[in-house]
Structure 1
Amino acid sequence: MIYSLNYFPELIGIGKYNTEMANWLVNEGYDVDVVCAPPYYPSWELSPGFSGWRYSCNHYGLVSVHRCPVWLPKKLSGINRILHLFSFAISSAIQFIWLIFKKKISGVESIIFLVEPPIFCLPAVLIASKIFQFKVWLHVQDFEIDAGFSLGLLPSFPRLTVLVGSIENWLMQKVQVVSTISAQMSLRLYQKGVKLDKCVYFPNWVDCNAIHPINETNEYRAQLGISEDKIVCLYSGNLGAKQGISILIEAARILECTEKIVFVIAGQGPMKRVLVEQARCLSNIYFLDLQPSERFNALLNMADIHLLPQASGVGDLVLPSKLKAMLASGRPVIATAYPGTQVFNIVQTCGVAVPPEEVQELTKAIADLANHHQKRQKLGSEGRKYALSHWDREQVLSQFESKLRKLIFTGKLVNQDLDSEAQKTITA
């Protein structure tokens, strides 16, 4: 059972990965149920045809999807985000326990794959696991509590920070497996007290057959009226606080006099209206809505340079999943990241990393890559190789499934299940 806020038809973020994982497991012969909220991400508005206040159940292929009520705030303050997560944790606990009860009396062996955020679902899962005797796999996509304090979304009182952190650490130690999506995030799990033999490196992935370099005339350039001789700097994804997107508007303003460089921002999110207003007088920036999955490869191939901004307080609390597709497209990446972070270490070989919120460094890096075609080709080729060797979907999910089988049949994992890069980071 996958227990998470997000699922299909959300096109990006956690929902995308949950959907692909569920479909892959069904194809391997597993019976998969999903407990989730109605789709709302990244716009923070309910998708048409869904209710935020009703329980529902439907099927997508062979996956049974059970949707639970969730409160969506109109204003995204730190407290409102917490209330949003709590609303799902409370409403979904009823549905989750009922499903587990039915599986128990039918004699079905279950593993609960709980995705964080939200961590608030974990207490109910742990209590139910004791009563009904099932195993729990916690998968951390985002340290939402740490990120909330770091970004100033939550009040940073020392005693409150220590108390909340201690509760989170204690809860994590009670599950059979805790996985996360990067080596540096695995280190953070270890620092939170999760034993090494419970830590699993389970990265997000990219379908390298669906995302690949295209050298033909690009449909998006034609749609936007961007000529082939222009250098397109593309950001595609969620437009939220953690992404630090405003720096791209500043960079576009500085480079407006450089006629051959243009910016394209494609996506949805709470910051979009602000960004459009900030860019209102600029002639070198274009906005697109979130694009359908069947056109995603064409969108990525419009870019000569991919841009990956991050707010300075995020660091290794998250690893942006959009980086996978950027590299798979065979285009270089310019990221804002501090030395020693996971993003910095990856981008070193296939792009350029500059300090977060340093707009002059960012514009300098953009101008340099815009003027060096061969350098862009070389870095893009290295990025494609990295995506193929580290994040190819079939490889990642096959490794995950072998660990899942081991948990089913033995009830635990061993230290060797930790990725070598993650283990090296932890034991350094």
Structure 2
Amino acid sequence: MKLNILFLTLLDFNNLEESNIYTDLLKEFVKNKHNISIISPSEKRKQKKSHLIRINENCEILKLRIGNITKTNFFEKGISTILLEQKFIKGINEYFGDQKFDLVIYSTPPVTFASVVKYIKKRDKCKTYLLLKDIFPQNAVDLSIIRSKGIVYNFFRSKEKNLYRVSDYIGTMSKANSLYLEKHNSFTNNQVIEVNPNSIKIESLNDTENENKKIRNQLRITDEVTLLLYGGNLGKPQGIYFLLDLILEIEKHEEFFFVIIGSGTEFSKIENFLRDNNITKTKLYSYLPKKQYEMFEKAADIGLIFLDKRFTIPNIPSRLLGYMKFKKPVLAATDGNTDLKDILDEGGFGLWSEHGDIQGIIQNVYKLTNKRYREKLGINGYNYLKEKFDVEISYSIIMKHFSRGDDNVQR
């Protein structure tokens, strides 16, 4: 069955060429001949008017001009966030007013799409599917960014509840994610809640020996040194204070080298820490183009995941998939509420310790200095990726609702 699908996101992209959990899913729908309309906003600072990009006969992207919501002050971000729904509805009417959608797909963040989804659901009598990638505002409460039961919390909690209520289907990242959602939101009884994990398109790997040598020469390390990589967001959710402790510990060991690649609110804190402590065995990079970053992923011996130990909500970082794709064992230091530890154990592709346990993570690093052990875990991870996190699986999970007679799409 061919569907007309509207995809809502805050990610800024102009095509589907780059691989991530959203573009890979969209490409899967395009491959299966569905018609895809995407709203991918462009912030005001770019000074571009709203315009439509035609990707091919089955796919188009509306670059919708919105206010600044990143890299700006709290006041401007707040106003821009409040106006998001109004701008999205206006964009839908102006550019997609003559289209009738069968399905709307959207993700968190943000939680402020409820009115947009409700509007298009009522207009087109369509189905709605939420890809739950973030549970806000509770995650902000966990990290003491906002106060529980305060004005800000109550405002966004109301938005969150409305988003769940308007969603026919909610795809979560893991079993623990689903259980948390059901426990704390009794009003979701009428929704279908199912695990629909982060997923990517899995492609064959090229020979990378020369690239690996190039990276090690760039870092001035030998083949005998165990290269650790952390790639991704560098913000409060990662609990950067523990990352700094790890940097100090690694500095004591000649056989380790640490590369950190990412951006976020804590980047300058890490940069200053490296300078002030004369760190020589950790290299920090800001944003790198996808191909450059993947060269480091290929060259690394171990991929690291961090989540602050204060989290009460189960998170599964999407960065995990890149490590698995390049057959790297995963070393995770997280809170005890995420079931990432269970996933690592089930797939046999990584080691876990609690975030904050410096001796625990160092012991695990030492275990992974064994090259044969690393290779075994890396292969396990790649096989588990193909079995559980291939984008074709996510696509099938969504589409099963439109092949069993439990939808209202015209055939």
Superposed, 1:96-107 pairs within 5 Å as 96-103=92-99
Structure 1 pair 352/81, CA: closer, same or farther in 2 (3 Å)?
Answer: farther
1:138 match: secondary structure:
strand
Q: Give the direction of change, closer, same or farther, for the CA distance of 1:225–1:179 in structure 2 (3 Å limit).
A: same
Tell me the SS of whatever aligns to 1:21.
helix
Q: Deviation of residue 284 (structure 1)?
A: 0.3
Alignment counterpart, residue 156 of structure 1, candidates 136, 148, 152: 148
Among 9, 24, 32, the residue aligned to 1:4: 9
Q: Which residue of 2 aligns with 1:66?
A: 62
Deviations 1:16-69 (A, max 9, x none): 322222222122111111112227xxxxx96xxx33x74232234453211231
Is 1:118 equivalent to 2:110 in the alignment? yes
The 5 Å alignment of 1:214-233 reads: 214=208, 218=212, 219-233=214-228
How far has the Cα of 1:295 moved from its partner? 4.2
1:95 partnered with 2:94: no
Q: 1:278 to 1:84 in 2, by over 3 A?
A: farther
Partner of 1:302: 299
Distance verdict in 2 for CA 1:70–1:102, change over 3 Å: same
Describe the shift of the 1:309–1:302 C-alpha distance in structure 2 as closer, same or farther (beyond 3 A). same
Number of matched residues? Answer: 395
In the other structure, the counterpart of 1:351 is: 350
Q: Percent identity?
A: 18
Q: 2:333: which partner in 1? A: 336
Contact 2:331 2:351 in 1 (8 A): yes
TM-score by length of 2: 0.84
The separation in 2 between residues aligned to 1:353 and 1:239, in whole angstroms, is 20
- Larger CA deviation: 278-287 vs 85-94: 85-94
Aligned residue identity for 1:305? I
Q: What residue is the counterpart of 2:366 in the other structure?
A: 367
Corresponding residue of 2:271:
276
Unaligned 5+ segments in structure 1 are: 40-44, 414-428
Match in the other structure for 2:250: 255
Q: Secondary structure at the match of 1:152?
A: coil
SS across alignment from 1:144: coil
More displaced 10-residue stretch of structure 1: 355-364 or 28-37: 355-364
Compared CA separation, residues 129 and 99, structure 1 to 2 (3 A): farther
Matched-pair contact (CA < 8 Å) for 2:25–2:391: no
The answer to whether the Cα contact below 8 Å between 2:136 and 2:156 also exists between their aligned partners in 1 is no
Structure with higher strand content = 2
C-alpha contact 1:213 1:329 (8 A) present in aligned 2: no
The answer to whether the 8 A contact 1:6-1:18 is kept is no
CA distance in 2, matches of 1:267, 1:57: 30
Q: Contact 2:136 / 2:157 at 8 angstroms: preserved in 1?
A: no
1:29 to 30, 33, 48: 33
Shift of 1:205: 1.2
The equivalent of 2:197 in structure 1 is 203
Cα distance in 2 between the residues matched to 1:155 and 1:396: 35
Q: Is the 8 A contact 2:235 2:264 kept in 1?
A: yes
Cα distance change, pair 360–54 in 1 and its aligned pair in 2 (3 A): farther
Contact 1:245 1:310 in 2 (8 A): no
C-alpha distance in 1 between matches for 2:353 and 2:230:
16
Aligned to 1:380: 378
Q: Partners in 2 of 1:96 and 1:339 — Cα distance?
A: 42
Provide closer, same or farther for how the CA distance between residues 328 and 95 of structure 1 changes in structure 2, counting only shifts above 3 A. same
Greater shift after overlay, 15-24 or 139-148? 15-24
SS of residue matched to 1:222: helix
Q: State whether residues 185 and 316 of structure 1, in contact with CA within 8 Å, keep that contact through their aligned partners in structure 2.
A: yes
Q: Deviations over 1:243-262 (max 9, x none)?
A: 22442332121221211101
The offset of 1:305, in angstroms, is 1.3
CA drift of 1:210 comes to 4.9
CA apart distance, 1:8: 2.0
CA distance in 1, matches of 2:142, 2:41: 26
Please tell me whether residue 320 in structure 1 is matched to residue 317 in structure 2: yes
Contact 2:261/2:288 (<8 A) preserved = yes
Kept after mapping to 2: 8 A contact 1:265/1:286: yes
Whole-Å Cα distance in 2 between the matches of residues 360 and 12 of structure 1? Answer: 42
8 Å contact from structure 1 (residues 70, 91) kept in 2: no
- The residue type equivalent to 1:22 in the other structure is L
Counterparts of 1:345 and 1:174, CA distance in 2: 31
Gaps of 5+ in 2: 1-5
2:3 equivalent in structure 1: none
Q: CA deviation at 1:404?
A: 5.5
Residue 183 of structure 1 is matched in structure 2 by 175
2-structure distance, mates of 1:301, 1:115: 29
- CA positional deviation for 1:212: 7.7
Q: Does 1:406 align with 2:411?
A: no
Cross-structure match for 2:389: 391
Deviations 1:135-178 (A, max 9, x none): 22222111122212212222223687567546633541333222
State TM-score, norm by structure 1.
0.81
Which consecutive aligned stretches of 4+ in structure 1 deviate over 6 angstroms post-superposition?
Answer: 10-13
Q: Distance in 1 between matches of 2:342 and 2:308?
A: 17
| CA separation of 1:82 and 1:403: change in aligned 2, threshold 3 A | farther
Which one-letter code corresponds to 2:132 in the other structure? V
Measured at CA, do residues 74 and 159 of structure 1 come closer, stay the same or move farther in structure 2, by a change above 3 Å? closer
